[in-house]
Structure 1
Amino acid sequence: MGMFAKLRGWFSKGSDPLIIDSPDKLAQVLGVSYETTAGQRVTTTSALQQTAVFNCVRVLAESVGMLPCRLYKQDGRDRLPATSHRLFSLLSVAPNGYMTSQEFWELLVACLCLRGNFYAYKVMALGNVVELLPINPGAVTPKLKDDWSVEYDVKFKSGERTLTQDEIWHVRLFTLDGLTGLNPIAYAREALGLGQAMDKHAAKLFANGAVTSGVLKTNEELSDEAFARLKEQFQGEHMGTANAYKPMILEMGLDWKPISLNLADTQFIESRKMTEAQICGLFRVPPHLVASLDKMTLNNMEQMGMSFVNYALVPILTRVEARIRVGLLSEQDAKTHFAKFNAGALMRGDLNGRYTSYGKGIQWGILSPNDCRELEDLNPREGGDIYLTPINMTTNPEAANADQTKA
């Protein structure tokens, strides 16, 4: 069947019309691009219906969303919060009139995980960005012109417009052409399709009642009356979790034979675990963060938590920080200003870990007591701005003075 024949089929008399307003729906109509070897059509929506995908995206989005993002100004060796800059409140409070900064960063990470690209329209005033309005990635098509400038064809409700790089803020995942980020869902389509097929198979298996915990066996022939009474007894007294472990009264030589998982069932379970592990690897999320605790211990949980920060969150954070400096700051401000996520907020729930690190920071002169109190949202105390220096780590002042005299 040709492409136009398929389109006519959707709009033919007697069928419900489908409004094609996204690449997913177009692929659904044409039956191409999103089909996998497992016979499943993988889209962003269907991928999110898998609990492993939903949990991975949610963990990444919420982990980034809870980190404070501040704009700083470099003044010599001093780095001070640039509270007077218009971009400061956009990054730390609210980027627009209907979203908080947390919701905005969560949306950004979700778009990167599911589409590979995030786009936002920049509302400008007096040369500064005063508002960031997210755009559906499916409605944007970036183009690289012959003069190496970038244009974006954006489909708004009012019609299609072509915007420049000065009007669009674009954050992308790693790319092969330097322009469009690779879509993780598209490139992991086969693994996700296998997961969808397994979920559907398991659902149909239990819906059809093809799984049983045991059978009743007898060498005698049951009458229709006895069979009906036995069936009624089992359905009323031994089915459901509320009737679990109730004793059974068996007549006429009936014998209960429990049934355990066979080899095929065991292999099916192992295949589902393997698919979940592949999905966790796709997003670089440790399995214990998506409620998969197989082969997990306290030691490797701690190591995987550190790996999650270093290899899953930090690449996203540095990518966004770089795009803020390049795409949201003016050329002049970009020389002295930069944005930074405070990854220390990940230790917010670990009181003992925070206080231990504060103690070491004060001991070695890295932090002052007031620095630590500021991190804990406490008011400074008198005399708390002193930085300590261990006596056994000080330099020889006489030798330093002698060197200066010789010079």
Structure 2
Amino acid sequence: MGILSGIFKSRDKPTNRTAGSAYGFFLGSSTSGKKVNERSAMQMTAVYSCVRILSEAVASLPLHFYEYRGDGSKAKATDHPLYFLLHDEPNPEMSSYTFREVLMTHLLLWGNAYAQIIRNGKGEIVALYPLMPDRMTVDRDDKGKIYYQYYMTVDDAPTNQGKWVTLAATDVLHIPGLGFDGLVGYSPIAMAKNAIGMAIACEEYGAKFFANGAAPSGVLEHPGTIKDPSRVRESWTQTFGGSSNANKVAVLEEGMKYTPISISPEQAQFLETRKFQINEIARIFRVPPHMVGDLEKSSFSNIEQQSLEFVKYTLDPWISRWEQAMVRSLLTAQEKKKYFIKFNMDGLLRGDYQSRMNGYAIGRQNGWMSANDIRELENLDKIPAELGGDLYLINGNMTKLQDAGLFAKGSEGGEEENHEEVLELEESGSDGEQSGGENAVSERNNRRGKLVR
């Protein structure tokens, strides 16, 4: 298959271009003239912050492997080998946190995340190892089946350096990002290379501005003819160039005059441009500006709502990609009917302390939460069952709608008789306090019970 792979058209190379349409977005030089790729983009603070926020959020969420029970409930399948791989250690070299952080970083920068699935002789999954997206290609064979080719380097195995290794689709966990064909995702960095390139250019301009002594470039004018202008230029740069030489007093000889020709950064709206590009990058990754340090439009009244929207509209779609890709690649057809993989996002959706307590009180009073259910969500020890920790309580002044008219229905056809009997009971009850005592009261209660029934 490796020999014949060149005959068949490559599905895509996720590292440098998008395919599936009549045009392509190539990594490399942007309209600003700056080279943009995944690694150069990470040198931008806004890109680094967005990637770090999303990758750490996905890596820090609890990841569990569940099984369906016969009664419709679910339980953690701790005895299944995949539970340990996903929850604790996918391979002997890294933790579950590190594994998910690496794959999420790949997904955000290259648009794809790959991991090799290692199986034992029984076909059981024993390890998962991340693979670099820039060395992976996705192709189809002559029968239309997808297979993966991975380029090995000395970092992978010294014996396989410079070789292509072919992997079957069943041996690769592939999490694709947004794409045009549903099979391969495309790099957000490639899609937004012009916006990122402009941000890189603005940052480089600011660095060079301060490197040149925070003074605008200009022209040294001489009334006569200079025999060696390069020497004068180098002398001027050496004396007054660089931030360490800023604000030095220049002494001009022989009638020389310095004339600035560049506009100031304020006139060029340099700071506004840099700020806009930061928001532009945050918009690419759908990260709220306050999470990358822009608090201009954030306040104590709306920042909690923005955080909840981050979980709902930004993080949840990525989580769905992860869950469905893992189920598709790691479970057999029979296991998919019995098991499922789920991230626990309850901790991120919790509000402030007072809001949580009010919500718990509503659940407790309406009977769908017990004391132990609440304590488990708050990471507290359970109350023993004999002390009522698992009881479900409801308010006593509530009844079913179908039972609302039972008393009236029981008294139909004998309302007058019942009314007279009630009066008689009340009179006998008042006399009973003098003559009959407890026996009269007991007789009254028994007769009233018969009326109700």
Q: TM-score if structure 2 supplies the norm length?
A: 0.67
Amino acid at match of 2:177: L
Cα distance in structure 2, aligned partners of 1:310 and 1:348? 12
Equivalent residue number for residue 313 of structure 1: 315
> How far apart are the structure 2 equivalents of 1:139 and 1:62?
24
Q: Are the structure 2 counterparts of residues 324 and 284 from structure 1 closer, same or farther at C-alpha, using a change threshold of 3 Å?
A: same
Q: 1:263 to 1:155 in 2, by over 3 A?
A: closer
- Structure 1 residue runs of 5 or longer lacking an equivalent are 1-21, 25-31, 213-230, 240-260, 402-407
Q: Please report how far the alpha carbon of residue 139 of structure 1 lies from its aligned counterpart in structure 2 after TM superposition.
A: 1.2
Name the SS for the 2:331 alignment partner.
Answer: coil
What is residue 150 of structure 2 aligned with on the other side? 154
Q: Which residue of 1 aligns with 2:294?
A: 292
Residues 63 and 341, structure 2, Cα contact 8 Å, conserved in 1: yes
Check if 1:164 corresponds to 2:168. yes
Establish whether residue 191 from structure 1 lines up as the match of residue 186 from structure 2: no
Name the CA shift for 1:341/1:196 in 2 (closer, same or farther; >3 Å): same
**Post-superposition offset of 1:170:** 0.3
| Paired amino acid for 2:170 | D
C-alpha separation between the residues in 1 aligned to 2:139 and 2:405?
60
How far apart, CA to CA, are the structure 1 residues paired with 2:347 and 2:190? 33
Give how far 1:65 is off. 1.3
Q: Structure 2 matches for 1:40-79, cutoff 5 A?
A: 40-75=34-69, 76-79=71-74
Question: Aligned to 1:379, what secondary structure does the other structure show?
Answer: coil
Equivalent positions of 1:69-218 (< 5 A) are 69-75=63-69, 76-125=71-120, 126-145=122-141, 147-157=143-153, 158=160, 159-211=163-215
Deviations 1:196-223 (A, max 9, x none): 00000000001111249xxxxxxxxxxx
Query: 1:72 is matched by which residue type in structure 2?
Result: Y
Distance in 2 (CA, whole Å) between partners of 1:44 and 1:318 is 24
User: How big is the shift at 1:363?
Assistant: 2.7
Instruction: Answer yes or no: is the 8 Å Cα contact 1:347–1:354 preserved in 2.
Output: no
Compared with structure 1, are the counterparts of its residues 164 and 156 closer, same or farther at alpha carbon in structure 2 (3 Å cutoff)?
A: same
Moved more, 37-46 or 71-80: 71-80
- Once the 2 structures are TM-superposed, how far is the Cα of residue 52 of structure 1 from its aligned partner? 0.5
Q: In terms of Rg, which structure is larger? A: 2
The change in CA–CA distance for 1:386 and 1:195 in structure 2 (over 3 A counts) is: same
Report if aligned partners of 1:73, 1:81 keep a CA contact under 8 Å in 2: yes
How big is the shift at 1:396?
4.0
Aligned-residue offset at 1:399? 8.0
- The equivalent of 2:333 in structure 1 is 331
Is the Cα–Cα contact under 8 Å of residues 142 and 152 in structure 1 kept in the other structure? yes
Structure 1 residue 102: deviation in Å? 1.2
Task: Write out the 4+ residue segments of structure 1 that deviate beyond 6 Å after TM superposition.
Answer: none
Q: CA deviation at 1:105?
A: 1.5
Deviation at 1:375, TM superposition (A): 2.6
Q: Which amino acid aligns with 1:52?
A: A
1:389 is matched with 394
Alpha-carbon distance in structure 2 between the residues aligned to 1:375 and 1:362: 13
SS in 2 for 1:299: coil
Q: In 2 relative to 1, CA 361–200 (structure 1 residues): closer, same or farther, beyond 3 Å?
A: same
2: CA distance, partners of 1:314 / 1:165 = 26
Partner SS, residue 313 of structure 1: helix
Deviations along 1:91-122, one digit per CA (max 9) or x if unpaired, are 11111111111111211211111010000011
SS for the counterpart of 1:298 is coil
Instruction: Give the gaps of 5 or more residues in structure 2.
Output: 1-13, 17-25, 154-159, 217-238, 248-262, 407-453
1:400 deviation in Å?
Answer: 12
Kindly provide the CA deviation profile for residues 69-93 of structure 1, in whole angstroms up to 9, marking residues without a partner as x.
1011111420111111111111111
Deviations 1:143-196 (A, max 9, x none): 234544210011123121111111000001122112111110000000000000
CA distance in 1, matches of 2:202, 2:355: 41
Paired with 1:398 and 1:316, the residues of 2 have a C-alpha distance of 48
Q: Give the distance between the partners of 1:102 and 1:393, measured in 2 at CA.
A: 48
Q: Contact 2:46/2:281 (CA < 8 Å) preserved in 1?
A: yes
* Offset, 1:353: 4.3
SS at match of 2:36: coil
The verdict on how the C-alpha distance between 1:94 and 1:186 changes in structure 2, with shifts beyond 3 A counting, is: same
Q: For 2:96, give the aligned amino acid.
A: S
Paired residues for 1:230-241 under 5 Å: none
Q: Which residue of 2 aligns with 1:377?
A: 379
What secondary structure, in the 3-state scheme, does the structure 2 residue paired with 1:320 have? helix
Query: The residue matched to 2:202 in structure 1 has which SS?
Result: helix
| 1:384 counterpart SS class | coil
**1:239-318 to 2 correspondences below 5 Å:** 264-265=266-267, 267-318=269-320
**Equivalent-residue separation in structure 2 for 1:103 and 1:61 (angstroms):** 10
- Tell me the C-alpha RMSD between the 2 structures: 2.9
- Show CA shifts across 1:44-87 (max 9, x none): 11101111111111111111111101011111420111111111
- Which residue identity lines up with residue 389 of structure 1 in the other structure? I
Q: Deviations over 1:17-70 (max 9, x none)?
A: xxxxx968xxxxxxx840011000001111011111111111111111111010
C-alpha contact (below 8 Å) 1:121/1:169 kept by paired residues? yes
How much does 1:393 deviate? 5.4
* Greater RCO, CA 8 A, separation 6+: 1
Question: Which letter does structure 1 place at the counterpart of 2:366?
Answer: W
Do the aligned partners of residues 67 and 204 (structure 1) sit closer, same or farther apart at CA in structure 2, a change above 3 Å counting?
A: same
Q: How does 1:355-366 map to 2 (within 5 A)?
A: 355-366=357-368
Q: Distance in 1 between matches of 2:382 and 2:145?
A: 50
Query: Is the contact between residue 64 and residue 87 of structure 2 (CA under 8 Å) also seen in structure 1?
Result: yes
SS in 2 for 1:109: helix
Number of equivalent positions: 331
1:252 aligned residue: none
